[in-house]
Chains A and B, each alone.
Chain A
């Protein structure tokens, strides 16, 4: 495994989110005020309220730096929190930031069951206090051929799974997002099959790179990024990293995954980042890094999103064109 030196400056200090957020509020409030004068106030007021609610705000105390972090420059907090695919809040990239204010993340209970010896529930507070929170700066590669670098805060998924003592029948892990159209207005239309579901093979789930994220930029996750708990699997396309998880289940068979069920020829179950296997409608050889501007060149996409040294062995002997 390649152990990289952590960045000298914790990325949480590169962009001070508190100052940044205050600026947003001021702008929003000004916009709301102007809107009121023009008679269109109520709509703008609502969006201003949503914006202040969705910014996580609460700091996660002293997340431990990790040797697994990349030293690449993180994408700005503004872009990380305002360019999101989270269809539960709308299908435009800017919809989640505008609409995710309706999500209630406290209390939040995660159910873990299936093929394990001690199935049960765990609340978000216990997840935050019972597991050492680490900062993991990871590359994120979306299946749509764009990418970011995100300073996540979270803990290895394997640490959680072990506590529930999976049995020998546990060959896969299935994940489910909250299903509640009142909190997630996007679920009122059947754009996707709700609730959003994803799955990993057991060895993928136990891999040290695989984390459950509770925050980003040193603070609790903003709603639009999958609060209060989301999966992050940095060598797979972003849609595998399911958001706002309420259930984890150990299964014997490969569990259903939302995009895979919808378009099996376009979105595989494995969905490992692979420049050699194109999406039927676009090339996966290169990607655009968000935040580099209008005239920036795209970047070469690397197998497993550059995490090949750590994870390629999980797939030795597998035909990755077939199991894409």
Chain B
């Protein structure tokens, strides 16, 4: 994709992606208004927003491997929007938890965060997302330079905390959180320095074959 035409396509793709990322929220709002969120609407919203935060976080993490596999540049150019939508759903998730689930009872919320590991882990993941969302602008990228990349590596930790948060809260059926965990592992495996590993191994083999 190059030139004006490429830019136009990318802009169109961004609009489509924006709508797609907003769709789960739209559906939740529509169902909330229609009263069709099921028998336990708060639980439906809590789980729905949490699911989408984690899904979009994983999709964000898939952009770098996608670029490497396809050689195309556009996945990286969509990455910021995906990451910010992951943050958007995380904010909604926290809001539903604090307001509708915990009813803004701050003492019990503090107790939850401190004493219940899965909530503590989820809260930590959210806190770590804040600086990433705040420094997602081009200005901050320029200002931070190489440190921007280092800072944004925190997303690996955040995704792992997100999966742990989910795994820890499930009562018995671990299939879904384990699936998210497996996808995360695959996405992280792409980040391993495979080329360096290969050359190290080649080096070792060469050593051994020496007389």
Contact = CB atoms under 8 A, between A and B. Distances in A.
A91 interface: yes
A146 interface: yes
Contact of B39 (A93, A191, A285): A93
A163 to B, nearest CB: 36
Contact of A294 (B100, B112, B169): B100
A294 B41 contact: yes
A291 B103 CA distance: 17
A93 B40 contact: yes
B39 A83 contact: yes
A79 B40 CA distance: 9
B35 interface: yes
A262 B43 CA distance: 24
Interface of A: 78-79, 82-83, 87, 91, 93-94, 144, 146, 191-192, 262, 280-283, 285, 288, 290-291, 293-295, 297-298
Contacts of A288: 40, 42
Contacts of B108: 283, 285
B207 interface: no
A293 B35 contact: yes
B172 interface: yes
A278 B1 CA distance: 58
B103 A297 contact: yes
17 contacts: A78-B39, A83-B38, A83-B40, A87-B172, A87-B173, A91-B173, A93-B38, A94-B38, A144-B171, A191-B172, A192-B172, A281-B116, A282-B112, A282-B116, A290-B40, A293-B35, A294-B37
Interface string B36-58: 01111111010000000000000
A262 B42 contact: no
Contact of B111 (A280, A283, A290): A283
B42 A294 contact: yes
A172 B41 CA distance: 39
B87 interface: no
Interface in B162-195: 168-169, 171-173
A146 B40 contact: yes
A262 B116 contact: no
Nearest to B168: A281
B118 interface: yes
A144 B46 CA distance: 14
A298 B172 CA distance: 25
Contacts of A191: 172-173
Nearest to A81: B39
Given A83-B39, A91-B173, A281-B118, 10 more contacts: A83-B38, A87-B172, A91-B171, A94-B38, A144-B171, A191-B172, A281-B116, A281-B169, A282-B116, A288-B40
Nearest to A296: B42
Interface in B96-146: 100, 103, 108, 111-112, 116, 118
Contacts of A295: 100
B35 A82 contact: no
A79 B118 contact: no
Contacts of A285: 108
A262 B169 contact: no
B66 interface: no
Contacts of A291: 39
Contacts of A293: 35, 41
Contacts of B41: 293-294
A117 to B, nearest CB: 39
A91 B43 CA distance: 15
A180 to B, nearest CB: 20
Contact of B103 (A94, A280, A281, A298): A298
B32 interface: yes
Contacts of B32: 294
B157 to A, nearest CB: 22
Contacts of B173: 87, 91, 191
Nearest to B37: A294
A81 to B, nearest CB: 10
A290 B172 contact: no
Nearest to A267: B171
A293 B45 CA distance: 12
A281 B168 CA distance: 9
B4 to A, nearest CB: 40
Contacts of A297: 103
A87 B170 CA distance: 13
Given A191-B172, A288-B40, A294-B32, A283 B100 contact: no
Nearest to B45: A294
Most A C-beta atoms less than 10 A away, residue of B35, B40, B118:
B40
A198 to B, nearest CB: 16
A91 B172 contact: yes
A285 B102 CA distance: 11
